[in-house]
Structure 1
C-alpha cells in the first residue's frame, strides 16, 4: 500500500512564487506535483525495461488529486503487466 502525502490544501497553496524555483512535491509511489512558472503538472516516475521514464498524468486543477492518484494506480497496473504506459498513451494519441 502506498503512503499518500499531499493534501488538497498543500496543492492549492503551492506556487512557483512560494518556492522561488521549479519544485517537485512527492505524493508517493513515484507520483509528484511538478511546479513551474507555467503551472502545476502531475508526473509519475517509473522504471521500464531497465530505464527510468516519466509519465504525464495531467495538469492541476483540471486533474484533481483523486484523479491523478487513480491514473497513477492504472499506470502501475500496466507496468505490473509488462506494458509501458507511455506506449499506450502514444497509441491513443495516434488514433485521434
Structure 2
C-alpha cells in the first residue's frame, strides 16, 4: 500500500490501485530518461504521456532504476528541481519489459 494511515480513503484506494499501473509508468519514465539523459520531472513530462505529478510520484519509488544527480534545474514555475538519471538497473528493466 502506498498511502499513509492518515490519508483520506480516496488516497488509500488510489494507493491500492497504483500496483496496476506503476510498471507502465516506470517504463515510460525510463524510456524518456534513456533517450534524453538527465532530466527533471517537468522535462520528462514534456517527452512522454505522463504528467509531472504522476512522474513525481513514481521517481522516488524507482530508487534502483533511477538516481538523483547532483544537478538541479529550474522548473517551469521557476523553482529548483531535482534532475534524475537512469541507472544500469533501469536499462536492464527496459530490456526485460517490452510493453507499455
TM-score (norm 2): 0.29
Structure number having the greater strand percentage: 1
**Highest RCO, 1 vs 2 (Cα 8 Å, sep ≥ 6):** 2
Structure with higher helix content: 2
